[in-house]
Structure 1
Amino acid sequence: MKKQIIAATLASLIGAGAQAADTGANRNLFKTAGQKETASDFAPAPEKIKTEFGTLKFEGGAFPDAKSAQKIYDEMDLQRATQAYMDFFPPMSLYTIVKSQIRDFGFKSASDIGVMADFMTPTENYLTGNDITVYAFASIDLKIDGATVVEIPPGMYGNANDAAFKYLTDFGPTGPDKGKGGKYLFLPPGYEGKIPKGYFVFHSPGYRIWAMMRGFGEVGNGDQAVKWFEDRLKVYPLASGPREHKAVNCSGIGANTLPPEDGSYYETLNEIIQYEPTELFSPELLGRLATLGIEKGKPFNPDARMKNIFEQAAKQGVAMSRTIVYDCRDPEIKYWSNRHWEKMFIRNTEFTENGHTDIEARTVWHYQAICVSPNLLSTTPGVGTSYLTCFRDKEGDYLLGDNTYRLSVPAKPPVKRFWAVTAYDALSRSLLDSGGNITVGSMSKPEVNADGSVDMYFGPKCPEGKEKNWIKTDPAKGFFVVFRFYGPEEGYIKKTWVLNDFERIK
């Protein structure tokens, strides 16, 4: 008898568990449609509806009065414009980079290249760019030049992203050239010409492409780096072959690469929609933009009402983006469950999860960073890179520039190449302009403790004798840091090596 009771209980528990776990994917409506209903079971919304934007009134049960209709359209346009701010942030980010490089560095064609020969400075506000490697980049336009060749020298590390800021290819050891250099051929949408042999070929869904790479070793810096890239990195139309070009030392000359945070965002968005192929974006997203007056082939002339809505929508989009990044609600955001170090790519670099777009994970990356590549989320020891961010101290409070903090980096950081910690301005997500050193890492040769650990200090004033290990903060600003692992090894990938949290020194 006892066995029968136990068996029945187990069967009941298993059945209840299965029922609780059933999400409806296998629901058979022929068995579960419920009891019969009639028209009298329909429960309409009331004639008066209270909302955050006012009370809405409907005459005859459903007809909105004039004031309610206006409130509804104002709110509808505001909501759609706010969501558009975040939905289109990735292509906006790439476009403002390309536009900035042409405008601020004086590029005359896609063959001109920029070189951060004396390293990036706070006057060039690239999202979480670093100031310890020499960057080179090109702004490519397939609508102007058609099929375009990017000829790279051996030893490069970098990638190319399309007009939607989606991954096209890596350059270097993680790319098809395997670090030996070679010719990459980017084809425009709808290309029907012959594809020659001897190229690494990529079809781009959009016209504009941003190509970025880093150089090490013999590249050097200063004039040497400019000359090195000018002689070896070439971008040119397939049809014409190599053409006249220049390399520009961009370090310290200033640039504004960031998407606007006011109503002008939508003017810039219209520029993208008018230029890029319609197929680059989903019909659903384009349909929402059309209700806001942004539609391919039509002039964008917002009236005073819409200008006010765009101004507010941009601010709300920024507020939401800041919150998603700095107070992320994703349960997988932390790299170590008992630390405040957070992932920049939460799950993958395609921003997908269970068959849908992982929209908040996309914002986590794109609002604070640029470039998309699977090798920025390395799972192969010694290959690629991995980044972690930190916005809070051990107590869970945000990092503020008027405080002093200590970060103890345990011995033997698991990297094949090098590691670095860089401080960023929370407002611009770009290099912190504190008037002092903002990066400490293995290449800067900090003082090392007897046990192999490194104590780093962050604050407006340097603790006595800690100059090599100090990052200067701005007492008027919040800041955050990115810990970069170049060639992360197993200790990082398997999480057996654990970073400490920031400790506030009072």
Structure 2
Amino acid sequence: MKKSFALIVALVTLSYIGFAQEMPITGKVNTHIGELEFDHGVPTKETTDKLYYEKDYQRAVQAYLWSLPIVGQAQWRQSYFDLYDLKPNQSVYAKEFNDRSLILTANESTPYLFTWINVKEKAVVLEVPPGSIIGLYIDFWQRGLTDVGLLGRYSANGGKYIFTGPDTPRDQIPYMEDVTYIESKTNNIWSVVRFSGSLEERENLMRSMRTYFWDEEPKMDIVPAGNKPGRNYQPRGMDYWKMLHAILQEEPVDERDRFYMYYLKDLGIEKDKPFNPTAQQKEILTDAIIVGEAMAKSMVFRERLPGVLRKDGWRHVMGRVVGSEPGDAWEHTQRTKYYDRLDPRARYTYEACTISERMAFAKDGFGLGYGGMFLDAEGEPMKGDKSYVMRIEADPPAKLFWAVTIYNTDTRSLIITDQEKAEIGSAHETTQVNEDGSTYVFVGPKAPKGWESNWIKSVPGQGWFPYLRLYFPTERFFDQSWPFPKIVPVDFKDYEK
């Protein structure tokens, strides 16, 4: 027993000596942030200043990654404030290219109805008519609240919902029968609704919806987007922090976010106080935006999160690959048993926006399937001055439609050219299909002769990436027996007709 005790003491002593060699009582040590100096175990004044600066800087970078979802929503709403002076319960109807051109990974296959709800003062009623509607509602931290329409609890039969929030007064929440009550954790709520059918059928469904405060007459207040680009990719520089400070004033602090609010306090961002950062805070915040965004880009374009990569190299944008561990798959609650998924949330809300249960947990013939690819068949980023082809195999596993949409890597929104086109798919009548049922999708600065309808123009000097959408995916999507396409650099002359 004595020998064992002596051995333990010796090991502890050696461990302490080894530690002391790395952290000198008196002297200097080199680290990734430079040289640190100690005087009898006490950091010198210069070292202390460096360490406090580094502490604030690290916290600013992490605060950027943490706040991406709410700043993205605040930016989206602000763009509609600026364009239309949007009011609560008003909806923006987007059907033209520019209407959706600056929205994170929007598609071109369906018109959209975007609605802002605020329930701080009173509950809001939503009436969904029967019909082919696919809609979702999220809070401003981009947590999914509910699906409505085909993927909701009432399916194609319509339905009525009442939305409340953390600050909604109890006397402003009505009791109604045969409704679904949805409680949001933020006062601000956002919705994205899509419609199927002919344009006339879609617009009739849209006008039949109702969104109104519970004590008002049922109504639907729709603002035509007017081919104006609403934007929701996050601002850069100090504008990012100004927007974060402003939106935090509108929302209560979630219990899970209280440590981050402490981080922000030392950076000049607090509840109920103006944002007047010092020169040093501005310096830290400005640089942290650059590094934080670079980290977010790495999460998107060079993915390493487990549970989301398919065997064909594509990534499940939402939800996990069937048969894999859940890992860091992105889903609507953001919550696991022991932690909330921070990196997947940052990755997704930098790259895209909005989430729902049926986007994250699709089933055979029910839900939405999304794949993203960020490197070509040679392992290189896609470049706007090169030409590429994707071969979509016959019979894509989608009951409604499929589409390949091309996005700009800098804005993560539709690639913008004078062509005003960023999508090829089964919902587009001009798409050419090969005799064997496969479909070519061409992306490059100039069109291949004879394939103009299957070509999306790229921009030299800019990067791009695709999403492949399968609406109401079938079994071959889940078991991966239908392969997603490779993105192959080619000479378009080899394909000309």
TM-score past 0.5 threshold = yes
Aligned match of 1:104: 83
1:35 is aligned to 8
The letter of the residue matching 1:188 is: G
Q: CA offset at residue 35 of structure 1?
A: 2.3
CA distance in 2, matches of 1:358, 1:247: 35
Unaligned runs of 5+ in 1: 1-30
1:342 match: 315
Aligned 1:92-491 pairs, distance under 5 A? 92-107=71-86, 109-116=87-94, 118-121=95-98, 124-143=101-120, 145-155=121-131, 156-189=133-166, 191=168, 192-193=170-171, 194-220=174-200, 225=203, 229=206, 231-242=207-218, 246-279=221-254, 281-336=256-311, 339-345=312-318, 346=320, 347-349=329-331, 350-352=333-335, 355-436=338-419, 437-445=421-429, 446-491=431-476
Change in 2 beyond 3 A, CA 1:174/1:246: closer
Distance 1:232 1:263, change over 3 A: same
Deviation at 1:49, TM superposition (A): 2.8
SS in structure 1 at match of 2:254:
helix
Matched residue of 1:488: which SS?
A: coil
Change (3 A) 1:368 1:220: farther
Alpha-carbon distance in 2 for matches of 1:36, 1:435? 75
Cα offset, 1:368, TM superposition = 0.9
The answer (yes or no) to whether the contact 2:389–2:442 under 8 Å persists in 1 is yes
Change in CA separation of 1:461 and 1:496 when aligned onto 2, cut-off 3 Å: same
Q: For residues 371 and 275 of structure 1, what CA distance do their matches in structure 2 show?
A: 20
TM-score by length of 1: 0.86
Distance 1:41 1:70 in 2: 29
Structure 2: how far apart are the matches of 1:235 and 1:495? Answer: 40
Are the structure 2 counterparts of residues 444 and 180 from structure 1 closer, same or farther at C-alpha, using a change threshold of 3 Å?
same
Structure 2: distance between partners of 1:79 and 1:319: 14
> SS at the partner of 2:465?
strand
Shift of 1:218: 4.9
- Residue aligning to 2:487: 502
Corresponding position: 1:74 with 2:59? no
Is the CA contact 2:129–2:205 (under 8 Å) kept in the aligned structure 1? no
Alpha-carbon RMSD across the aligned residues, in angstroms, is: 2.4
Q: C-alpha offsets along residues 356-408 of structure 1, whole Å, 9 cap, x if unaligned?
A: 33332222321111111121134421111111011111111111111111111
Question: Contact 1:413/1:497 (CA < 8 Å) preserved in 2?
Answer: yes
Q: Helix, strand or coil for the counterpart of 2:8?
A: coil
* Alpha-carbon distance in structure 1 between the residues aligned to 2:248 and 2:299: 26
Q: Is the 8 A contact 2:125 2:211 kept in 1?
A: yes
Asked if structure 2 preserves the Cα contact closer than 8 Å seen for 1:124 and 1:257, the reply is no
How far is the alpha carbon of 1:320 from its aligned partner?
Answer: 0.6
* Contact 1:219/1:228 (<8 A) preserved: no
Contact 1:102/1:139 (8 A) holds in 2: no
CA contact (8 A) 2:195 2:205 kept: no
Paired residues of 1:95 and 1:272 also in contact (CA < 8 A): yes
CA offsets per residue over residues 54-82 of structure 1, 9 Å max, x none? 312222222x2222222112111111001
Q: Is the 8 A contact 1:127 1:429 kept in 2?
A: yes
The corresponding residue for 2:325 is none
For 2:30 and 2:378, locate their aligned partners in 1 and report how far apart those are by CA, in whole Å. 40
Secondary structure of the corresponding residue to residue 83 of structure 2: helix
Distance in 2 separating the partners of 1:203 and 1:388: 31
CA distance in structure 1 between the aligned counterparts of 2:281 and 2:268, rounded to whole angstroms: 9
Instruction: Confirm or deny: 8 A CA contact 2:268 2:281 kept in the other structure.
Output: no
TM superposition shift of 1:286 = 1.7
Distance 1:207 1:217 in 2: 33
Q: Which runs of 5+ in 2 are unaligned?
A: 321-328, 492-497
How much has 1:40 moved relative to structure 2?
8.2
Deviation at 1:353, TM superposition (A): 5.6
Contact 2:143 2:334 in 1 (8 A): no
Question: Which residue matches 1:14?
Answer: none
Q: Distance in 1 between matches of 2:184 and 2:337?
A: 26
- Structure 1 residues 5-44: aligned runs within 5 Å: 35-36=8-9, 42=16, 43-44=19-20
CA deviations on 1:425-463 (whole Å, 9 max, x unpaired) are 000000000222321111224222222111221111111
Q: Percentage identity across aligned positions?
A: 29
**Gap change, CA 1:181 and 1:218, over 3 Å in 2:** farther
Amino acid at match of 1:340: G
Cα offsets for 1:214-272 (capped at 9, x unmatched)? 11225539xx83x763x3222211133436x6312215212232211212211111112
Amino acid at match of 1:94: Q
For 1:177, the aligned partner's letter is Y
Aligned length: 464
C-alpha change, 1:99 and 1:150, in structure 2 (3 Å) is farther
**In the alignment, is the contact (CA less than 8 A) between 2:99 and 2:225 conserved in 1?**
no
Q: Is the 8 A contact 1:161 1:211 kept in 2?
A: yes
Q: What SS does structure 2 have at the residue aligned with 1:285?
A: helix
